[in-house]
Homo-oligomer: A and B are copies of this chain.
Amino acid sequence: MNAYYSQEAHGPFELVSIGEIALEEGGAIPDCRLAVATHGSLNAARDNAILVTTWYSGTSKIMEQVYIGAGRALDPSKYFIICVNQIGNGLSTSPHNSEGALAGPGFPKVRIGDDVRAQHKLLTETFKLDRLALVVGGSMGAQQTYEWAVRYPDFVKRAAPIAGTAKNTEHDSLFTETLVEAIETDPGFRGGRYETPADVAAGLKRHAKLWTVMGWSTDFFRAGKHRAMGFDSLPAFVDNFMTGYFAPMDPNDLLAMAWKWQRGDVSRNTNGDLAAALGRVKAKTFVMPISTDMFFRVDDCEVEQKLIPGSELRPLASIDGHLGLFGTDPQMLAQLDANLRELLATAVG
């Protein structure tokens, strides 16, 4: 086991078994456990539930810390907020916490659609919900948000995909491939049969460097925000903050998420027709790219937004790039909250 993925580090969360999930790529996860953290209470009308999804390497904990709280748009005094950790993220069923044939490099390929069907099963069977006031998530969480809105258009009343796409771009898939290769080329990775993440430390560090190059922005570094965060140089920021962030994570878990991320594509629901897929969406949708995001660029997100009926493009102005998702820019969070408040106040059918 890996102490990083513990209740102490990421809790409180509850592990909920939803039984067997058949996978789009074939095979199944026989006993799929989703790590779930909830905040607030379901109202009598059962119409105040919000689903919060997670991104690559993230868990429900950072969503709680950065996005949820009294006075925030995602306010537990008003809403029943359900954070579901994606399959493979280390808290839910993942390579490192599976046994037998599913363990480590034997873990099956999981798609965004599998996650969303698993989450739907959780919400309908465990929580007895038939609607969501909002689905919101960033990056891979946005992929799940789009998938929800396309797959269950009557269930999702509002959608807020942040810094992510409905259909991953070729460019982004290649970026993710460089992340994968940074890990897999480490001799210590041994085809996924390493003993601890420390065996893959060099690969995880190269992976952290690629994230540093693409994850923030040149404006972020020119403004010296890494220095303002307490690191006296970019190498110190890489060594301590970025490498420190990824170092304890399980490489096979990261790779399971990366495989899923690369292939996110709602048009799988409509035989490859993206316009048809996004045309299905009934949720009132605010598409929120981050202005300086280097891989989920505003222009790329706008192309998709225009295919969603009644949607609005609401770019978040920040120099922090994609990793502004970490909450490093309070002004960006204020913009996000204002958008979410407006979205939640919008009447829906």
Q: Are B174 and A213 in contact (CB under 8 A)?
A: yes
Does A210 sit within 8 A of B, measured CB to CB? yes
State whether the Cβ of A209 lies closer than 8 Å to any Cβ in chain B.
yes
Chain B residue numbers with a CB within 8 Å of A238 are 174
Closest residue on chain B to residue A172 by CB atoms:
B218
Contact with B along A210-246 (1 / 0, CB 8 A): 1011101011011000000000011000100000000
Q: Please tell me if A206 contacts chain B, counting CB pairs below 8 Å.
A: yes
Expressed in whole angstroms, the Cα–Cα distance for A297 and B216 within the complex equals 14
Question: Residue A124 at the B interface, CB < 8 A?
Answer: no
A137 to chain B, nearest CB (A): 21
Which of A24-32, A89-97, A175-183 is near enough to bind chain B? A175-183
A248 to B216, CA, bound (A): 33
Complex contacts, A294 vs chain B, CB 8 Å: 294
- Cβ-based interface call for A148 (8 A): no
A36 to chain B, nearest CB (A): 34
Q: Mark A292-332, 1 if CB is under 8 A from B, else 0.
A: 00110101100100000000000000000000000000000
Of the listed residues A171, A202, A294, the one surrounded by the most CB atoms of chain B closer than 10 A to its CB is A171
Cα distance A178–B206 in the bound complex, in angstroms = 7
| Residues in B neighbouring A216, C-beta threshold 8 A | 171
A222 touches B299 (CB 8 A): yes
Q: Are A178 and B209 neighbours in the complex by a CB distance under 8 Å? A: yes
A8 at the B interface (CB under 8 A): no
Tell me the smallest distance from the CB of A296 to a CB of chain B, in Å. 9
Q: Contact: B297 with A171, CB < 8 Å?
A: no
> Given the complex, which residues of B lie within 8 Å of A170, measured CB to CB?
221, 233-234
* Inter-subunit contact A213/B169 (CB<8 Å): no
Query: In this complex, what residue of B is CB-closest to A237?
Result: B170
A185 at the interface (CB under 8 A from B): yes
A222 to B, closest residue via Cβ: B300
CB-based contact A206/B221 at 8 Å: no
A17 is an interface residue with CB less than 8 A from chain B: no
CA distance A196 to B206 in the complex (A): 25
Pair B234/A174 contact, Cβ less than 8 Å = yes
14 contacts between A and B (CB under 8 A): A169-B221, A170-B221, A170-B234, A171-B221, A174-B212, A178-B209, A178-B210, A178-B213, A181-B209, A185-B185, A185-B206, A218-B299, A219-B297, A219-B299
List 17 other contacts, CB 8 Å, given A178-B210, A218-B295: A169-B222, A170-B221, A170-B233, A171-B221, A171-B222, A171-B234, A173-B234, A174-B212, A174-B238, A175-B213, A178-B206, A187-B187, A214-B214, A218-B300, A219-B297, A222-B300, A294-B294
